[in-house]
Amino acid sequence: MLWLRLTICYTNTLSDIRIMKKLYLIKENKKTTDYVELQVEDKFLHIHSGKVGKAGVSKMTKNCGSLDKAIVEAENHAATYLNKGYRYGEEVQPIETIVFDKAKWHLDGDFPYELNERQAYVHTGLYLNWIIENNLTNELLSEEFSEEVEKVKRREITGSSFYSDYLDGVFTSEELSSIGMNFTLDYFDFEKGSYLQDYEKTLANELPTLYHVEDKWSNYELISKIIDSRYSEWSKKRKNNITQHGS
Per-residue model confidence as pLDDT tens digits over 18-42 = 334 678 888 888 778 888 888 888 8
Entry pTM: 0.63
Per-residue model confidence as pLDDT tens digits over 181-238 = 999 999 999 988 999 999 999 999 999 999 999 999 999 999 999 999 999 999 998 8
Answer yes or no: CATH 2.30.40.10 is held by domain 2-92. Answer: no
Question: Do you know the residue count of the chain?
Answer: 247
Q: Could you list the beta-strand ranges (E) of the chain.
A: 20-28, 33-41, 44-51, 58-63, 87-88, 99-102, 170-172
**Residue intervals in the chain for CATH 2.20.140.10:** 2-92
If residue 80 lies in a helix (H) or strand (E), which one and from where to where?
helix 67-83
AA identity, residue 33? T
**Of the ranges 66-80, 117-131, 157-171, 215-229, which one carries the lowest mean pLDDT score?**
66-80
CB 132 within 8 A of CB 162: yes
Per-residue model confidence as pLDDT tens digits over 135-151 = 999 887 888 899 999 99
Q: Is 58 helix (H, G, I), strand (E, B) or coil?
A: strand
Task: Identify the sign of the CA torsion 228, 233, 238, 244.
Answer: positive
